[in-house]
Structure 1
Amino acid sequence: MKELQDIVQAFDRAHQTGKQTALATVVHVEGSSYRRAGARMLITEDGQLIGAISGGCLEGDALRKARLVMAQNKPMLVTYDTTDDDDAKFGVGLGCNGIIHILIEPISATKQDNPIQLFKLFLSRREPVVLITIFTMNDKQALQPGTCLLLTQEGNIKGIFPDDTIKDILLADANDVLINGNSVTKTYVYGDKFTCFIELLQPTVSLVIFGAGNDAIPLVQLASVLGWHIYMVDGRSNYAIPERFPLAKKIITAKPENALSQITIDERTVIILMTHNYNYDLAVLKQLLPLQLPYVGALGPKKRLYRMLDELKNEGMEITDEHLTSIYGPAGLDIGSENADEIALSIIAEMQAVLKNRTGTSLRYKNTIHNRHSEQIITQTMQ
């Protein structure tokens, strides 16, 4: 979600200085491309680009078209066919062998439900939402409603429906996305034809680091690059201080039994135990096991983790296989890490793999990187 955070901040800066802006969104991909549907880039009238819609090859042409969109104050759907060699003549050949559909829409600060306001609403709440971007592929000269709707877990709707005839079925599909956790692209045919990118947005990852030693510093730096919210916890007041961890969202000095109550923990929270204090880590692990979080990593040798688990069992704690599925120890992927920087990289990579339900396998062993079947457009004709 760092891309959205950067886009919102850049828009606010542009608005304060009176600059016009436009938002470019990859709404659909056929075949291979550098970025998938949902990739976004904010473009300012003076040529600043925040975010990315490709590996850098489309951005120049998108800037030219965005300036036209700003001048006309009208959204535009642009298609780049990188399977066509002629595209290379115009400087947009990507070598990706795919067709990329990009919606470019002007951002008006006076419009109450403009895309930036929808992004801000999402970023202000720590819960999944569904964002709906509506466009027309069969007639690029037709109205392109753009990023116009947001649905929260409570069923609240922010934005305006471009056509009430698709309202009920679109909301039903958006609820399915919210429940099932998979974004979809769907075309509704009812006289007019609307294609909707129904996108699940997940909250920013929260990383809780128990242990404010020197080896936690590169972990914080890497997580910050990803835009994660970082919480530092340690019992030593001379270690857990802002001067050592200026990138942390919150620094907590507390005993293990008092630490968790000061943090909001949910399904987007990952945790690493690295205090190098056996009893502190043990006390925290005892509280974490029943929560069955997606990732709880333990630094140090495997026998140290097994010793902690055995000790908890001897105390009468029931530890099931389900509890153990979220425990990773020794923490990190096997990339030959030796020093603190390399270990931090391996831990962050493992956390990312777990959150994305991936194995961390080298991409050279995969036939495709992304599941293209999930990106196909579903068409529904309404009576």
Structure 2
Amino acid sequence: MVILQQEPLLVTYDTMDDDDAKLGVGLGCNGIIHILIEPINDRQTNPITLLKAAIASNGYSILVTVFNIHDRKASQPGSCLCLVNGNSIHNGLDDLAYRTELLEDAINALNTQRSAITTYESFTAFVECVKPLISLVILGAGNDAIPLTRISAILGWNTTVIDGRPNYANSERFPSPNKPVVAKPEKILDNIKINKWTAFVLMTHNYNYEIAFLQEILPLHPSYIGVLGPKNKLERMLDELESNGTTITERNLHTIYGPVGLDIGSETSEEIALSIAAEIKAVFSERNGHFLKYKNNVIHSA
């Protein structure tokens, strides 16, 4: 219907009934779901345009979706605004009588970095704050780095593999969107952009390479540095750096994770990659990685 009419449509599914077989999709969520279906016209700004802009952002962005939850047959404005990198991208926003208030609410959500649900007469707006993508920089192009790049790709992270060995760091071994980088430790920072959403994982199995890189990166205070290997290896590296004049601050120690990964009993390269990815996600989400069954409050805050 949406394709034929080229108009957004809000559809409501009620799965409160234990027997949702009549719905035919087996959602089993025991709740009421409102799904907004929007047509895509590639000749003009559309929801995909807004999504692409949010994904490409280097910082927080705002996506605004407007719908009428009380009248399914009423006009459904849909995805109408994206605030990104100080600019706004519109999709039908000028047609809304409450566009000024909506824009103000979007700016406020961007400043507070919190999503919100607001109402304007009979319309509801989901003002969604979208976090930047995690950028994962893997030092080391060995076989154990391959499963980590695959998990990172599934998660949608922006991943870069760096190694000093051209026969390891190549597109045949790492066919990801970002071409592997061959670089010496002192040249690595010339090939990447760092922000607070950048995570580094050191897994070269080359002590001298990693300690040289740590000397370059520690003064920049990245949010996450994971070091593969036993704890005494990391302690030795930090002691050696301090003896050579590098200042190791409490802030540095707080953001260095070694041995890297959550304790899930990992043995294989794939399992280790899973534990590393889970730890990175937990750190950037400011969570502790505990069992959800022991959580006393709700999983997702309102």
TM-score normalised according to structure 2 size: 0.91
Structure 1: how far apart are the matches of 2:165 and 2:173? Answer: 13
1:352 aligns with 2:281: yes
Determine if the alignment matches structure 1 residue 174 to structure 2 residue 106: yes
Check whether the contact 2:114–2:129 (CA below 8 A) recurs between aligned residues: yes
- Same amino acid, percent of matched pairs: 52
1:227 maps to which residue? 156
The aligned counterpart of 1:78 is 11
8 A contact 2:160–2:180 mirrored in 1: yes
Shift of 1:221: 1.9
Alpha-carbon shift at residue 222 of structure 1 (Å): 1.8
Match of 1:19 in 2: none
1:133 corresponds to 2:62 = no
Do 2:20 and 2:28's aligned partners in 1 also have CA atoms closer than 8 Å?
Answer: no
Looking at structure 2, the residues matched to 248 and 369 of structure 1 have their Cα atoms a distance apart, in angstroms, of 37
Structure 1: gaps (5+ residues): 1-67, 374-383
* Worse-superposed segment, 161-170 or 199-208: 161-170
Question: Per the alignment, do residues 338 and 87 of structure 1 end up closer, same or farther by CA in structure 2, a change over 3 Å counting?
Answer: closer
- CA deviations on 1:345-373 (whole Å, 9 max, x unpaired) are 11111112222222211222235653242
Contact 2:134 2:157 in 1 (8 A): yes
- Provide closer, same or farther for how the CA distance between residues 72 and 356 of structure 1 changes in structure 2, counting only shifts above 3 A: same
Q: In the aligned structure 1, how far is the partner of 2:104 from the partner of 2:242?
A: 46
**Aligned equivalent of 1:159:** 91
**Following TM superposition, by how much is the alpha carbon of 1:89 offset from its aligned partner in structure 2, in angstroms?**
2.8
Aligned-pair distance for 1:334? 0.4
Cα distance in 2 between the residues matched to 1:347 and 1:334:
10
Q: Using the alignment, how far apart are the partners of 1:347 and 1:223 within structure 2?
A: 10
What is aligned with 1:115? Answer: 47
Kept in 2: contact 1:149–1:157 (CA 8 A): yes
Aligned equivalents of 1:240, 1:363: Cα separation in 2: 38
Distance 1:94 1:160 in 2: 32
Provide the rounded CA distance (Å) in 2 between the counterparts of 1:93 and 1:219: 33
- Cα deviation for residue 323 of structure 1 reads 2.1
For residue 93 of structure 1, report the CA deviation from its aligned partner.
5.1
- Report the Cα distance in structure 2 between the residues aligned to 1:203 and 1:253, rounded to whole angstroms: 26
Residue in 2 aligned with 1:342?
A: 271
* 1:288 matches 2:238: no
- Normalising to structure 1: TM-score of the pair? 0.73
How far apart, CA to CA, are the structure 2 residues paired with 1:368 and 1:99? 22
The equivalent residue for 1:250 is: 179
d(CA) in 2 for partners of 1:172, 1:302: 50
1:270 aligns with 199
Distance 1:97 1:289 in 2: 49
Aligned to 1:197: 126
**Alignment size in residue pairs:** 302
What letter matches 1:224 in structure 2? A
Deviations 1:126-184 (A, max 9, x none): 33321110011122221100011111231434333255542333222212222222211
Aligned partners of 1:83 and 1:99 also within 8 Å: yes
| Runs (5+) with no aligned partner, structure 2 | none
Q: Which shifted more, 171-180 or 204-213?
A: 171-180
In 2, distance between residues paired with 1:131 and 1:209? 31
Change (3 A) 1:198 1:322: same
Whether the aligned pair in 2 keeps the contact of 1:123 and 1:203 (CA below 8 Å) is: yes
1:378 is aligned to none
Alpha-carbon displacement from aligned partner over 1:3-61 (angstroms, at most 9, x marks no partner) = xxxxxxxxxxxxxxxxxxxxxxxxxxxxxxxxxxxxxxxxxxxxxxxxxxxxxxxxxxx
Indicate if the aligned counterparts of 2:81 and 2:88 stay in contact, CA closer than 8 A.
no
User: Displacement of 1:122 after TM fit?
Assistant: 3.0
Q: Is the 8 A contact 1:145 1:162 kept in 2?
A: no
The AA in structure 1 aligned to 2:223 is P
**For residues 265-317 of structure 1, what are the alpha-carbon distances to aligned partners after superposition, in whole Å with 9 as ceiling and x for unaligned?**
21222110111111211121122223332321000111111122222222333
Aligned alpha-carbon RMSD (Å): 2.1
Question: Is 1:331 aligned to 2:263, yes or no?
Answer: no
Give the 3 Å change call, closer, same or farther, for CA 195–337 of structure 1 in structure 2.
same
Say if 2:13 and 2:34, in contact at 8 Å, map to a contact too. yes
Give 3-state SS (helix, strand or coil) of 1:107's partner.
Answer: coil
C-alpha distance in structure 2 between counterparts of 1:162 and 1:367, whole Å: 45
Q: Distance in 2 between matches of 1:277 and 1:121?
A: 39
How far the C-alpha of 1:333 sits from its partner, in A, is 0.7
Contact 2:54–2:62 (CA<8 Å) still a contact in 1?
Answer: no
Q: Distance in 1 between matches of 2:195 and 2:203?
A: 20
User: For the Cα contact (< 8 Å) 1:220–1:248, is it kept in 2?
Assistant: no
For the Cα contact (< 8 Å) 1:69–1:104, is it kept in 2?
Answer: yes
